[in-house]
Structure 1
Amino acid sequence: MSKIIIVGIMALTFLSCPSNSKKSNLSAQIDNSSKQDQSTLEASIIRGKNVYEDMCITCHMPNGKGVPKAFPPLADSDYLRAKQTESIKAVKYGMSGEILVNGVTYNSTMAPLGLSDEEVADVMNYINNSWGNTIENFVTIEKVSEL
Structure 2
Amino acid sequence: MKYLTIVYLGLVLGLVMLFFQDPELEESIERGSEIYADFCVTCHMPNGEGVAHTFPPLANSDYLKLNREASIRGIKYGQDGELIVNGVTYNNTMAPLGLEDEEVADVMNFILNSWGNSSETKVTLEEVAIITE
CA contact (8 A) 1:93 1:112 kept: yes
Corresponding residue for residue 95 of structure 1: 79
Which runs of 5 or more structure 1 residues have no equivalent in the other structure?
A: 1-34
Corresponding residue for residue 109 of structure 1: 93
CA contact (8 A) 1:41 1:138 kept: yes
Give SS of 2:79's match: coil
> TM-score, length-normalised on structure 1?
0.75
**Sequence identity (%):** 60
Superposition pairs for residues 31-70 of structure 1, below 5 Å? 38-70=22-54
The one-letter amino acid of 2:130's match is E
TM-fit CA distance, 1:37: 7.1
The separation in 2 between residues aligned to 1:137 and 1:104, in whole angstroms, is: 26
Stretches (4+) displaced over 2 A: none
CA contact (8 A) 1:128 1:137 kept: no
**Which structure would you say has the larger Rg?**
1
Give SS of 2:56's match: coil
TM-fit CA distance, 1:132: 1.4
Which runs of 5 or more structure 2 residues have no equivalent in the other structure?
A: 1-18
The counterpart of 1:80, out of the listed 54, 64, 79, is: 64
Offset from partner CA, 1:25-67 (integer Å, 9 cap, x none): xxxxxxxxxx697000000000000000000000000000100
| Closer/same/farther in 2, CA of residues 134 and 36 from structure 1, 3 Å limit | closer
CA contact (8 A) 1:100 1:106 kept: yes
**RCO higher in 1 or 2 (8 Å CA, sep ≥ 6)?**
2
The count of corresponding residues between Structure 1 and Structure 2 is 113
Measured on the aligned residues, the alpha-carbon RMSD in Å equals: 1.2
The one-letter amino acid of 1:46's match is E
Superposition pairs for residues 115-130 of structure 1, below 5 Å? 115-130=99-114
> TM-score, length-normalised on structure 2?
0.82
TM-fit CA distance, 1:137: 2.4
Corresponding residue for residue 16 of structure 2: none
The one-letter amino acid of 2:75's match is V
